[in-house]
Chains A and B, each alone.
Chain A
Amino acid sequence: MRILADTWSYLSDPASWTGGGGMLALLVEQLLLSVTALVVAALIGLPVALALGHLGRGGFLAVNVSNVGRAVPTFALLAVLVTADWPGTATLGPYGRAGLATLIALTLFALPPIITNAYVAVREVPGDVVEAARGMGMTGWQVFTRAELPLALPLVVSGLRLALVQVWATATIAALVAGPGLGRVITDGFAANDYGKGIAGAVVVAVVALVLELLSALAQRLATPRQRQARGRTVSADAPRVENPAG
């Protein structure tokens, strides 16, 4: 297979990795985009979803935001943002060409899994636990921070994991609208009929995706040590709850 040989020679050539448009620089750019979008989405989504969950309101919205997020193609939203007068393709500092458009799209697609999971997590805290906490004389805030939040944490974190997967995938697709990130290697390769390069880019994107998934799974384990003993009682956080093949 000549294509596979081309792929290998691209991957093993140091020149593909270094320099301004090299894969290392693009990798850093895409990681930066993903982390920024994830943090922004968590800062917006978590307070809203946790509050709604605590108050028991807005459930329809919190759950359906995921269905909407699934139906809208990430590619379509990126295309609209890039073609519009604002944000357009303007370069944004370390985020590269169309950096702002990409960040907006990434954040929007990170919100649904974060919101839905956090809302469901708080709602699924057993009612008798909340009752007991109230009976002990806890205020609403204390009930939330001492009873609901600790029990909801595993599922909240799994929402963040799903969001990370979604963000990484969307950041890759940004290349289809000539945006920043590693996806560029794939689209440039395909555009130039250099399929070895295209596949090489795909391999790197896929490997980093798997590494990120493993790291976040590990982080989740560390963040919720009690989960191991209580498995079966609380909501299983091992498996992502809201399934959504990432963009």
Chain B
Amino acid sequence: MQEASGPTCYSQLRNDWFCWDYVVDRREELLDATTQHLAITLAALALAVLVALPLGLVARRYPRLESTVLGVSTGIYTIPSLALFPLFLPFTGLSATTVVLGLALYALTVLVRAVLDGLRSVPEDVREAARGLGHGPTRLLLGVELPLALPVLMAGLRVAAVSTVALTTVGTLVSYGGLGNLIAHGVARDFRAELLTASVLCVLLALLLDAVIVVAQRLLTPWTRGAPGAGS
């Protein structure tokens, strides 16, 4: 911090919304917060995918279970994040785990639906043809159904990823909110550059993650290229 040429644009006196000096001077703090944000988001998404796939497959087998799973997930998604995190507190305490579990639960509600919708989007005659070729259930699933369900699945993953990045900010309630911690600090101290920079970084992170998933989908499903996008 240099005091030489008057107050910086992020000093209390000026308190500008945009201040490049702030970004330069506090780059380590910003980097740490962004890293924590990304780590929490990715952990939640990974956990949600790991649970959503088997859950979706089992739910598809048993229609009664499917309606239960969909009903419960609608209920969960209705609960505000600020109220969901505290409900984990008695079990996981003030830790990143509390945030990751809460976010994973939200992502799960989106992804289970995407798994079910995706598998349903596979044409029945394709399934028949695969069976006719002698595919067993496992090979049918891994070789035919999942690849064909991928566009719908990835569309669900995009929705889950973008909203998870945004929701991670609320984790600041238990002090693990990544960029949300900076936003909270910015509000408490009336520090405009801090809260706006953190907010913008948060949106950029969401857009970046979305773009990564789009590229991954292009690479994984080359046959859909040129066809109208299956995105949401």
Residues of A within 8 A of B (CB): 1, 3-4, 67, 70-77, 79-80, 82-83, 165, 168-169, 172-173, 175-178, 183, 186-187, 189-190, 195, 198-199, 201-203, 205-206, 209-210, 212-213, 239-240, 242-247
Contacts and interface: CB of A to CB of B under 8 A. Distances in A.
B176 interface: no
A239 B114 CA distance: 13
B115 interface: no
B83 A202 contact: yes
B17 to A, nearest CB: 8
Contact of A169 (B80, B164, B180): B80
A187 B167 contact: no
Given A71-B203, A74-B166, A206 B84 contact: yes
Contacts of B199: 72-73, 76-77, 79-80
B26 to A, nearest CB: 17
Given A79-B199, A80-B195, A186-B173, A72 B166 contact: yes
B193 to A, nearest CB: 11
A3 B85 CA distance: 14
Determine the main DSSP class of A at the interface with B. Answer: helix
23 contacts: A3-B89, A3-B90, A70-B159, A73-B165, A73-B169, A73-B183, A76-B195, A77-B199, A79-B184, A79-B195, A80-B199, A83-B186, A83-B190, A83-B195, A187-B82, A190-B174, A202-B82, A206-B87, A209-B80, A213-B78, A243-B110, A243-B159, A247-B167
A31 to B, nearest CB: 14
Q: Give chain B's interface residue range (CB within 8 Å of chain A).
A: 35 or more
A201 B74 contact: no
Nearest to B188: A178
Given A72-B203, A243-B110, A244-B163, A165 B78 contact: yes
Contacts of A213: 74-75, 78
A244 B80 contact: no
Contact of B87 (A82, A177, A203): A203
Contacts of B162: 67, 70-71
Given A76-B183, A186-B82, A189-B86, 6 more contacts: A75-B183, A83-B187, A187-B82, A190-B174, A201-B86, A246-B81
A75 B86 contact: no
Contact of B89 (A72, A165, A198): A198
Interface in B89-135: 89-90, 106-107, 109-110, 113
B79 A210 contact: yes
B52 interface: no
Contacts of B183: 73, 75-76, 79
Contacts of A70: 159, 162-163, 166, 206
